[in-house]
Amino acid sequence: MRVLYDFGIGFYAIVLWIISPFHTKAKLWIAGRKKLLNHIQQTIGPGQRPIWFHFASLGEFEQGRPLMEAIRSRYPSERIVITFFSPSGYEIRKNTALADYVFYLPLDTARNAKKFIASVQPKFVVFTKYEYWYHYFNELNKRDIPLILVSAIFREDQVFFKWYGHFFRTILQKVSFFFAQNMDSVHLLKAIHIKKAGLAGDTRFDRVVELPKQRRSVPAVEQFIDGNTKVLVAGSTWPEDERLIADCFLKQQDWKIVLAPHEVSTSHLQELKSIFPEAIFYSAFSTHAPSTIKAARVIIIDNIGMLSSLYGYGRLAYIGGGFGVGIHNTLEAATYGLPVIFGPRYSRFQEAIDLIELGAGFSISKSTQFEELLSVFTLPEKYAYASEKARAYVQEKSGATPIIMKYLQAQKLLPA
């Protein structure tokens, strides 16, 4: 099985190399790894023994952020190295003040893992959620470097729990401790004889619970809304989400839409303009007359990094991705007390399941269901119930970071 694993890793890299001239993210992925190991070796001085955090992409970075902030605050002399697998994480956070060094993660081969870990020499390592690399985990294990998984979540249908999953179970066995999001994950691990696991929750709650206090004002959006209370904030949307929103909301003349698409490429923004012809772009806001702004029903946020503040302007939130690989972050909206609406593919996201059970989350697959929800939320008592449940859920679920910090201190990985 290891031979197949190594073949798959190599094949993945070859495919990205082939498509890189035509695909921006693939191009960044390839370019970011050229002479990377030499660069890392020359950048990190000997004897620093930093803490290494690895994130697949931007969402996982947000899960690790509360723990990094806690370490930075309490132990300012500790060095932190961050690696990303995806360009979307690296390009946005490569200058984060939370790290001393930020790199792409070299491809998971035995040679790369050995050279990377020899160069970095981490005192301990933190991975998040569900990214497991055989050679890196194996090399850390051989060197007795502690590796913890935070916000870990497992499902029974994953390969680790299948009769043919022995090789992948050996990867999990290299982890020093799993901090799981739910007890189902803890039980699944114990069923395959991995006992170093416990419930901590999702560290993202510790981040999002603070967002309303840290929220930045966005004057352009305030001017666009102009006191209107019926505002939908649609975040991280994909084309199918956007078509559904258009089908529903073009009939709802009294609603305004703040639309923050997942992809802000020129071609996609042009597609959005064809779906919402009268929309105005955030980047061109100052070029419009006040009368045009007041009459506009849609503002397209054609940059990144603002979404967590934008939810504070909404009455309802639509979270994109539910017609593709899975929904994006529902918690950033829920923390403001917004009922959250999303597409049908949410089963891998515990928070979405929880919000639905609480009556604060709603999955839809067609525009008529969207219209029905809008009708329901015209009733003040229905809206107030969903809003309070969303806000309370985030507040009640926070607290994972102190649990993890206590473990790190107890294991003498950080001073008590």
The closest alpha carbon to 398, from 233, 188, 212, 215, belongs to: 212
Q: What's residue 250's pLDDT?
A: 77
Note if 381 is an active site residue: no
Selecting among 60, 242, 332, 351, the annotated active-site residue is: 60
Q: Would the CA dihedral through 171, 176, 179, 180 be positive or negative?
A: positive
Q: What's residue 291's pLDDT?
A: 86
Going through 90-209 in order, the beta strands assigned E by DSSP cover: 101-104, 124-128, 147-152, 177-180, 197-199
| Residue recorded with tokens 């597409």 | 343
Q: Provide the whole-model pTM.
A: 0.84
Q: Which residues contact 266 (CB under 8 A, 6 or more apart)?
A: none
Q: What's residue 86's pLDDT?
A: 94
Q: What's residue 325's pLDDT?
A: 84
Name the DSSP class of 105: P
- Give mean pLDDT in consecutive 10-residue pieces for the chain, a chain of 416 residues: 91 92 90 93 91 94 95 97 95 95 97 97 95 96 98 94 95 98 96 97 94 93 91 96 92 91 92 94 91 90 91 97 94 98 93 97 95 92 97 97 98 95
User: CA-to-CA distance for 341 and 262, rounded, in angstroms?
Assistant: 16
Domains and CATH numbers, the chain: 2-209+399-410 (3.40.50.11720), 217-397 (3.40.50.2000)
CA angle 303, 304, 306 (to 5 degrees): 105
Q: What's residue 358's pLDDT?
A: 98
Q: Which residues contact 250 (CB under 8 A, 6 or more apart)?
A: none
